Amino acid sequence: MNKHHSRFSPYPIQHELGKNGCSSIIHKEDNIGIRHEHLLQDSTPSRFYQATDKCFLFILSGELFLKSQHNEIQLKKNQGSWLPSTAITVATLLSPEVRLCIVTFSTYPKRTEKVTQFNKVSSGNITSIVEKNGVTIWPLYQGEEGVIAIHSYPAHYKETPYYHKHTDQYLLCLDGKMALSINKQAFKYCPDIGQYLPKMTRKAVFNPNNKIITVLSITTPYPEKGRVLAL
């Protein structure tokens, strides 16, 4: 069994991408897919993507140059873009190695317009939301099918336990170390590949560091009724 497997799912499922590279399926259901890719410039200098579903690419480390027939874009750490669904994307590595998180929404509304061009989003060009508890949120995307956001947690911040009735959530620490309490268990460090949390899972985030941490949060579908506190 893979050391990252948990009782929540049998993932990740891994396969090689070039020499020493790897693709890891973190989670896969009818409505959402999440996978990580670790690419090495020496063995995989470029890669092609055909986005048949609504597909969001987020840089975890390194730099990547994306090009399609419509436009081109350069992405760095903690920046992302939807991939065009009308053309093939050519991704070229601009650093010795690149780590990606790729999110696909498969059951998005038919009225949603097809993505034709890259559009860079990050905490640098999105208006933030500062909550009373000191948490800052940058919503990179909000739609009926889900929310993709970057959360910033203050040093030693401990969340009140909560759950979502109808929404799954995926959490991945981008900088520093994040601890999670799941279903009343003691806080444990989140795995390096992140943690997928099905609906009705009681959860809480704790930042044990002396500095701010940033976390990628993906929820699906859109959490219309918000969180339910589990006191």
Quick one: tokens of 137?
A: 């949120």
pLDDT of residue 113: 62
d(CA 107, CA 72): 27
CA 7, 105, 30, 67 dihedral sign is negative
Full DSSP string of 135-174: -EEEEEEEETTEEEEEEEE-TT-BPPPEE-SS-EEEEEEE
- Which of 225, 166, 226, 177 shows the shortest CA–CA distance to 205? 177
d(CA 192, CA 104): 20
Q: Which domains does the chain have, with CATH numbers?
A: 13-107 (2.60.120.10), 129-229 (2.60.120.10)
d(CA 62, CA 38): 10
d(CA 147, CA 163): 16
- Residue 230, pLDDT above cutoff 90: no
CB neighbour list of residue 8: distance below 8 Å, 6 or more residues apart? 195, 196, 197, 198, 201
pLDDT of residue 1: 31
pLDDT of residue 108: 56
d(CA 114, CA 98): 27
pLDDT tens-digit map of 70-123: 899 999 999 999 999 888 999 999 999 999 999 999 865 555 567 888 999 999
47 secondary structure, DSSP code:
E
pLDDT tens-digit map of 181-217: 999 999 999 999 999 999 999 999 999 999 999 999 9
pLDDT tens-digit map of 168-179: 999 999 999 999
Q: Is 176 left (phi over 0), alpha (psi -120 to 50) or beta?
A: left
pLDDT of residue 12: 86
pLDDT of residue 8: 47
